Chains A and B, each alone.
Chain A
Amino acid sequence: MKAAAFDYVRPATLREACGYLADGDGEARIIAGGQSLVPLMAMRLVRPRLLVDINDVAELTGIARDGSEVVVGAATRQADAGRSGIVVDDVPLLALALPFVGHDQTRNRGTVGGSLAHADPSAEIGLVAAALGATMTASDGETDRRIDAADFFQAPMTTTLEPGECLTAVRFPVWPGAGRVGAGFQEVSARDSDFAIVAAAAQLALDRDGVCRRAAVAVANAAPTPVRLLRIEEALIGQRPDNENIERLLPLMDEAIEPSTDLHAGADARRHMARSLTLRAILQAAANAAREP
Chain B
Amino acid sequence: MPAKRITVIVNGEPHAASVEPRLTLVDFLRDVLDLTGTHVGCEHGVCGACSVLFDDLPIRSCLMFAVQADGHRVSTVEGLTEPGGGLSLIQDCFWETHSLQCGYCTPGMLIAAHALLRRNPDPSRQEIRKAISGNLCRCTGYGQIVEAIELAADRLNQRTPSPERDGHDR
Contact = CB atoms under 8 A, between A and B. Distances in A.
- Touch between chains A and B, by CB atoms below 8 Å: yes
Interface of A: 1-8, 10, 31, 34-35, 38-39, 41-43, 51, 53, 55, 79, 102-106, 108-109, 192-193
A2 B22 CA distance: 8
Interface stretch (B10-18, B62-70, B92-100, B159-167): B62-70
Contacts of A5: 1, 20-22
A244 to B, nearest CB: 33
B44 A109 contact: no
Contacts of B117: none
A137 B86 CA distance: 51
Contact of B22 (A4, A35, A109): A4
Contacts of A10: 67-68, 70
Contacts of A192: 130, 133
Contact of A42 (B2, B21, B44, B54): B44
Given A8-B67, A193-B134, A106 B22 contact: no
Contacts of B54: 108-109
B44 A3 contact: no
Nearest to A194: B46
A51 B57 CA distance: 24
A56 to B, nearest CB: 9
Main secondary structure of the interface of A (DSSP, over half): loop
Contact of B134 (A31, A39, A41, A106): A106
Contacts of A4: 22
Contacts of B112: 104-105
Given A51-B21, A53-B68, A109 B43 contact: no
B1 A109 contact: no
B48 interface: yes
B63 A109 contact: yes
Nearest to A79: B57
A102 B64 CA distance: 16
A51 B134 CA distance: 27
Contacts of A79: 57
A143 to B, nearest CB: 29
A106 to B, nearest CB: 7
Given A35-B45, A42-B62, A109-B60, A103 B134 contact: yes
B43 A8 contact: no
Contact of A38 (B64, B70, B115): B64
8 contacts: A38-B63, A51-B21, A53-B68, A104-B115, A109-B54, A109-B64, A192-B130, A192-B133
B128 to A, nearest CB: 12
Contacts of A53: 67-68
A103 B44 contact: no
Interface string B90-131: 000000000000000000000010010000000000000011
Nearest to A1: B43
A17 to B, nearest CB: 15
A5 B64 CA distance: 14
Contact of B133 (A43, A51, A103): A103
B133 A193 contact: yes
Nearest to A4: B22
Given A2-B22, A7-B2, A8-B4, A39 B63 contact: yes
Contacts of A104: 58, 112, 115, 131, 134
Given A103-B134, A193-B133, A8 B63 contact: no
Contacts of A193: 133-134
Nearest to B129: A192
Contact of A1 (B4, B44, B51, B131): B44
Contact of B68 (A35, A41, A55, A105): A55
B48 A109 contact: no
Interface in B33-63: 43-45, 48, 51, 54, 57-60, 62-63
A105 B58 contact: yes
Contacts of A2: 22, 24
